[in-house]
Structure 1
Amino acid sequence: MTVLPAMLPGQLDLRRLVTTLRRRLRLFGAVAAAVLLATILITLQATPKYTATANVMLDPRKEKVTNVQDVLSGLPADSSTVDTEVEVLKSRHLAERVVTALKLDQDPEFNPDVRAPSGLGAVTAGIKSLFGATAPDQVRLSALEQQKHQERVVDNVLRGLSIKRAGLTYVINVSYESTEAAKAATIANKFAELYLLEQLEAKFEATQQATTWLNDRLAGLRNQVLADEAAVQQYKIANNLLSASGTSLTEAEISNYNQTLAQARAQVAEDEARLNTAKQQLARGSTGEDVGEALDSPVIQQLRAQRSQVSAQVADLAGRYGERHPEMMKAKRQLSDIDAQIKAEIQRIVSNLQAKVQVSRERAGAIGGSLGGAKGTLAANSRAMVGLNELERKAEASRTLYESYLNRYKETSSQQGIEQSDARVVSKAKIPTGQSSPKVPLNLALGLLLALGSGAGAIIVAEMLDAGLATAEDVERRLETSYLGAIPLLSSVAEDSQLSPIDQVVAKPLSSFSEAFRNLRASILYSRLGEPVRIVAVTSSLPGEGKTTTSLCLGRTAALQGAKVIIVDCDLRRRTVNRLLGAEPKLGLLEILSGAATLQQAIAVDEGSGAHILPLAKSAFTPKDVFGTSAMDRLLEDLRSRYDLVILDTAPVLPVADTRVLAPKADTVVFLARWRKTPQHAIEAAFRLLAGTGSHLGGVALTQVDMKQQTKYGYGDPGYYYAEYKKYYVS
């Protein structure tokens, strides 16, 4: 046997799309037809409009009349500049100027207030005029209301404007759409014209403002220059800086003092050296005759000559008369007197040397003092020069700035009246010969595409809002659990049947309706491979999903096949089994659990199938926990030993807690969901509640399935082939 590969996740299944379209064909057709019809009506009722286009080119080139820099420079030749000018053309300011220039606020196309009333509006206006009501144009509007009114007119004008750049060129297309062809051309040309005029006005205004500002600035700078130069002169006078340099005399004086001081210090050194030499010679025992100053002294020379004569005389007398001769002694006294005179003269010479040294020192000190005074004067002049230099720099800066502004003022004044626009109109808008909208063929084509898309979107929305389950694939994919089978809606498989579902399985056991329960039983038996399934709990998430009908039909079908079956009504609040069977028993499940009756006393036998039924009788015994008792456990074990199949018809999971207590006691749980009705989130909520009980979920069975509609839900579901195999059954 060849097995076809399964569809991969996300893989397109054309047959599934086709079946979905077949199923939702009416919805698709209705939505698509409505959209297409609306498109046609809108197109036919739309007011014809005409579009005119003027071409404006940005031209950064311009004639250079004067070699002077412009106050407002021209536009740079780059892409961002073109985009900026596109936005300028779209500006409200320019639109307001167009409205004023063409008086568009009086045009009914842009100002609804001036439109002539028609229909009911005309009747209302006539009635108001009869009662003396003031016409709208006679009402005095406040400033705010006038502004809002003007803004509405500008908004209406801007709606028809389209400004686009022509590719990557410097050309801008100024297009306008209006209900009148001539008006469209006029407005487009006016936008281009006022755009160029606004550029010229901006340059003229900038030049005029610059000239005025420069003139005012020059007056202040002129006064500043005069004040700074006066401050320089006053400073020179106050600090005795008569020459440009201010310090030439003082510097020459210091130079002379330095030379004189050097000479004086040399003289001091020379005099001190002579004095020291004389003192050293005298200290060594010299008579002073060999002292340098003494050698040069004429007095010393004369005394030395006399002493030489006397010494010669003494020597002569000593040889002639001896030491004690009076002449000899007289000559010696004379020699001693001469020596004393020489010594006295030498002392006088040394004293002169000392006095000369003192004079030299005092002269050098005096010269040094004069030099210090000159240096102090120079320092004072230097400090004064710092201030003078600062004042002169300030005055020079003021004059330079003044001359710069004066030159710029002359240049700016020469530009007035020769401003040029940075753009020009290369093509004026012509009156269009054909309407630009509505474009009937294009609108119909777009309407058709929109209709198809809307129809497809409606199908998608409908499928998304369809929260119920329809096929086996829905159960297995969306709930991730086993699919046990489908219970048909009786009217969809037996249109002429007057029987109830529980009677149909007995009266017509070979019908497709009965076969559905045999299939369900087979799925239940194999829900736990390798383990016997005897006790089956039948439940659902919400009431009204066919639990009791399914339990009775399943039990009757199994009994007709020869199985020993008992159906236990476990819905304490509704007791639906009794209502479907049309009986009201005296004894039932609660009486057995309370010990008031035995199993044999409470069991009822279904005459049509032979199945046993354990109903719920009207009883005052209502314990808080019926199914969690040991009595219930013993009863279920007893039923397990007596019957092949025990069906527990339980209450829905979400409203009450009984089923959560009872479900773990069953071998498996059969969960019912009404076809296309039970919300998926309700089923998932019930699953979460059962998951915490430890019960075994055998799977999900769909109830009340319309088999005629089921064939539209895809080839993968058994119901898809119902039309092929329904003749196999005996109706």
Structure 2
Amino acid sequence: MKGLMTQAQTAQARENQLVADVNTLKAASARAGDQQVELDALQREATAQRQLLESYLTRYREASSRKDSNYLPVDARVFSRAVAPSEPYFPKILPIAGAAFVGSLLLMAIVTLLQELFSGRAMRPAAGARFERIEQVAMPVAREPSNHEPADIDYVADRAAETPAEPEADAAAPATAPATGEDVEPARPILGEVEIDKAVEKLITSGAARAIFVSPEGDEAAASAVLVAREVSDAGLRVLLLDLTASGAASRPMLDSGLFPGITNLLASEAQFSDVIHADLYSDCHVIPVGTADPVRAMRAADRLPIIMQSLTTAYDLVVVECGPTDAQGISRLVGEGTEVFLSLLEPNDEVAQAAVELIEAGYPDLTLVTPVGYQTPGTPLPGRRSAA
């Protein structure tokens, strides 16, 4: 009985608690209803205020447009908001990397081509290439027949005598030639020298960058350097002749004057490269003459010659240097990579032989002896003619 009464009391207390909670919720609901009413009233007031503001803005825009003809009211509305993509649209890695690779290849190809073109290697003959020698045919001298003599027979006889015979006829000529009273010119002694065309062929085929000419016999032998420079220039290479003789024997026939600034002015810091490089009047060769500066002052800066030679070698396919009568020590500053040393001679004699031996013993075993004999001496050609010899 007591247990039932206890349970009844507990249920009664729970009921009272639930009733109190219900009353509390009813009061809160009543307050929420009041707040909702206030919220609705505020929203209505805000809507009214917004409409009023829009009407004021519309009137202001209309008034501004009437006062200012350039005024253009902005009418922007948001239809939908943008959404950030999950993956970036740009930059695209693969296309950009491919384009950069192709562009780099093209740029490298262009740079390589320009380097080869400006270095001159593309214009030089390949190593080992040899040029066939052109046979020089001696042309007979035309003679005008006299009006009082039978010209036909004499003219044919003269041409037959002047025309070179065949090798068989040349071999038999000493045995069959009649004896005459004229003195026969003795055979010219040789020291193994080569002619101008052989020296030119050696320079072109070997791809030499410098050609040093030593002339023990003086100014007349300097013609070899001029002839070689002009022949190589006519072959299509860029050639410069540097005249280091005291009298300007190599540059004077090319410029017809000794008053141009040259190597002495460059060494004395009185001129620049563009002021001392001149064009040969009778070929496509360039020349640096001796110059007009004080030679003593210029020789104080002789240590700059290797730098000058390196700069000229970079700009030209071949630099020909005429040193005049000098020794191995005198050309030591001019020798570099790809250098050929020549000894120019007119008549083989003891002086030339001694100079050649000294150069060979000084460390130039590949010395080449060259002679200008048989070629036209460089000088001023006839008016209206262009000479490359």
Q: Same fold (TM over 0.5)?
A: no
TM-score normalized by structure 2? 0.44
Specify which structure has the higher proportion of helix.
1
- Larger of the two Rg values belongs to structure: 1
